[in-house]
Amino acid sequence: MLFVCPYTHSAGIGTARASDALGFGVTCSTALVAGLRRHGLHVDAITALGEGGHTAWVARSLVAFEKAVTSTDYDALLAFHAFWPFCADLRRILDDNGRRCPLVAYTHGSHWDPTDLFRYERYPALRWADLGNLLAADRVLVVSRYMRDTLVDTVRAESEGAGRELAAKIRCVGLPLDLRRIDAAHRDRKDGPATVVFNHAPIAAKQPGLFFDVAAELLQQTSACILVTRHIGPDSPWSGQVENLCRAYPGRLILGGDLPIDNYYAALWTSRIQVSTASHESLGVATLEAMATGNCCLLPRIGAYPEIADGDPAVLYEDPDDLLSRLILLAGSADRQASIAAAHTARVRTLYSPERVAGAVRDVLIEAVNRANGGRQRLDGPAKAAP
């Protein structure tokens, strides 16, 4: 099979952005490819490395994709992100070259989730393009049941026919955590004040301002420390809150400034509590990584959070006052932190392991291949040269 890797870039280059290009696009995609290979698939990957920004990367990806599919007879194609590059462009290349290979694509967020403010703010005119990319694929992979149900219901409310078409293609498979890389960064937790980590992208849908409001009260009422793993620039709407907290509580608000991935994982191992104040969440990789490293997580009861928390009332809070009271209680009780964390760590490491998720993806790929070639399954050896 051919795997179209996502766009990624280095840390520390400026404005806030979603986490696919900086975090899970790097780690989860790598874990997925490794998991597929361990399931016996021969995987070629298009990475499109080179100079320039996102537009240059898209052009290189499409050129590399066309060269690959016209020179090699692949059984299936898998794009990690239906938007980068556009799945419709991949389909156009296949059609222009007379290739009928099944095309499967992940979507990690969508204009068709009304809570996904990032896409509405960054790409306000691309709602229908978003849907077109999904319908251009033979199968659409989503990371949570919440995401599946939301997309199908929202599209169906706009167009019954489009909703039926999407429902027939969409499959919930989850997303793999890079557990090998996470475990390689292991650090022992030290005694002392609890460290509370905020490891979300600084975008409106994650509500950093709400977190910093709660953090101010937490720092005043406890000895806890706060770690922010993403860059908060001087032009950020939340930079004033951050500056005030740094002045008021020197040394207790730690700014990671877009921590490199291995340093980020090491920091998760040494923190004790992870907090989300998001108003949108299609899965919650940042939370899953925190759970996998033994953090006690506090999450709003929205989006996919009840799903990944297995409905645990000890993890899901109702409003900011509820969050603050729980944080103050947890900051003073290492035993309670550890007890809540332990209830989730093993489960998350199993459900979101590369082996399990890659197995689910492999099943969808086989389904698409069987539909395309009348049940003659392949996907079990090196690709052949294209005729």
Residue carrying structure tokens 């794009």: 79
Render 193-240 in DSSP notation, one character per residue.
SPEEEE-S-SSGGG-HHHHHHHHHHHHHHS--EEEE-S---TTSTTHH
Strand partners, 172: 142
What is the C-alpha separation between 246 and 275, in angstroms, rounded? 19
* Residue-level pLDDT, tens digit, the chain, 387 residues: 999 998 876 433 334 454 555 577 889 999 999 999 999 999 999 988 878 888 999 999 999 999 999 999 999 999 999 998 999 999 999 999 999 999 999 999 999 999 998 888 889 999 999 999 999 999 999 999 999 999 999 999 999 999 999 999 999 999 999 999 999 999 999 999 999 999 998 988 999 999 999 999 999 999 999 999 999 989 899 999 999 999 999 999 999 988 889 999 999 999 999 999 999 999 999 999 999 999 999 999 999 999 999 999 999 999 999 999 999 999 999 999 999 999 999 999 999 999 999 999 999 999 999 998 876 556 665 556 665
What is the C-alpha separation between 331 and 341, in angstroms, rounded? 13
Instruction: Say what angle helices 208-221 and 320-331 make with each other, to 10 degrees.
Output: 40
Strands, sheet with 296-300, edge to edge from the N-terminal-most edge strand = 253-255, 225-228, 195-198, 273-275, 296-300, 316-317
CA nearest 212: which of 170, 193, 240? 240
**Cα atoms in the Cβ-side hemisphere of radius 13 Å centred on 343:** 15
Structure confidence at residue 16 (pLDDT)? 40
Structure confidence at residue 51 (pLDDT)? 80
Render 130-190 in DSSP notation, one character per residue.
HHHHHHTSSEEEES-HHHHHHHHHHHHHH-HHHHHHHHHHEEE------HHHHHHT-----
Could you tell me if 243 and 234 are in contact, meaning their C-beta atoms sit under 8 angstroms apart? no
3-class DSSP state for residue 91? helix
Q: Provide the H-helix boundaries in 222-353.
A: 239-248, 261-270, 285-292, 305-308, 320-331, 334-351
Could you tell me if 42 and 382 are in contact, meaning their C-beta atoms sit under 8 angstroms apart? yes
What is the C-alpha separation between 196 and 314, in angstroms, rounded? 17
3-class DSSP state for residue 103? strand
3-class DSSP state for residue 79? strand
Query: Do the strands 2-4 and 77-79 form a parallel or antiparallel pair, or are they unpaired?
Result: parallel
Structure confidence at residue 14 (pLDDT)? 37
Could you tell me if 276 and 282 are in contact, meaning their C-beta atoms sit under 8 angstroms apart? no
What is the C-alpha separation between 205 and 281, in angstroms, rounded? 8
What is the C-alpha separation between 168 and 231, in angstroms, rounded? 40
Q: According to CATH, where is 3.40.50.2000 located in the chain?
A: 2-176+354-385, 179-351
Specify the fold of 2-176+354-385. Answer: Rossmann fold (3.40.50)
Specify whether the backbone of 116 is left (phi greater than 0), alpha (psi in -120 to 50) or beta. Answer: beta
What is the C-alpha separation between 281 and 257, in angstroms, rounded? 22
* CATH superfamily for domain 179-351: Glycogen Phosphorylase B; (3.40.50.2000)
The reply to whether the predicted model has a pTM over 0.85 is yes
What is the C-alpha separation between 4 and 104, in angstroms, rounded? 10
**What token pair was written down for 145?**
């049941």
Strand partners, 198: 228
Residue carrying structure tokens 């007879």: 73
